[in-house]
Copies of this chain bind each other. A is one copy, B any other.
Amino acid sequence: MTSARWLDPEERQAWLALLAVTTLLPGNLDGVLQQEAKVTLFDYTVLAMLSEAEDRTLPMSELASRTYSSLSRLSHVVKKLEQRDWVTRSQCKQDARVTMATLTEQGFKTIEEAAPAHVESVRKVVFNGLDRRDVADLERIGKKIVHLLEPASWVLREPRLNS
């Protein structure tokens, strides 16, 4: 490692803004979901990923990678969601090591009900302040950063056409 360069003024401003966003955004969205449906943002993301998957089912490891979580974190959370009867777990026939997580009908209803308020809150704290150019720039820059953080990330591989 060479001698460390400090951030220049532009980078510093950008960094402080990004730090502020990453600090404030999760708590803000959490709050809305907590009131609306008694779930955390992470709970919601897990349910959302399952709801969009084929048969509303995914292996735990695949679900972990789509939610950017460790298997450990996911395991704890899925246990909780199972106790609420929103998710069930089952063994995979092909590979006995893998556990499949499936969204229940009740879980599906829960997320369906929570979704409008959640989307509204995302709009309220992100997109209401951005024009079309901002949105395009945000996607471009966000993906560049994700590429450094997690080159194999799911969002980078997603096809461009989806509802």
A72 at the interface (CB under 8 A from B): no
Number of copies: 2
Contact residues in B for A137 (Cβ distance below 8 Å): 137, 141
Number of interface residues of A (CB under 8 A): 67
How far apart sit A145 and B74, CA to CA, in the bound complex (Å)? 29
Question: With A19-B45, A20-B150 in contact, do A6 and B144 touch (Cβ < 8 Å)?
Answer: no
Interface of chain A residues 114 through 136 with chain B (CB within 8 A): 115-117, 119-120, 122-130, 132, 134-136
Whether A20 pairs with B122 at a CB distance below 8 angstroms is no
Contacts of A5 in B (CB 8 A): 119, 123
Looking at chain A's contact residues, the main secondary structure is: helix
- Residues on B with C-beta less than 8 A from A20 are 68, 142, 146, 149-150, 153, 155
A-B contacts, 25 of them at CB < 8 A, read A5-B123, A7-B119, A7-B127, A10-B135, A10-B136, A12-B162, A13-B139, A15-B122, A16-B155, A18-B138, A20-B146, A20-B153, A21-B22, A21-B146, A23-B26, A23-B69, A24-B149, A24-B150, A128-B148, A129-B145, A129-B147, A134-B140, A134-B141, A138-B141, A141-B141
A residues adjacent to B (C-beta < 8 A) = 1, 4-7, 9-26, 28, 45, 67-69, 115-117, 119-120, 122-130, 132, 134-150, 153, 155, 158, 160-163
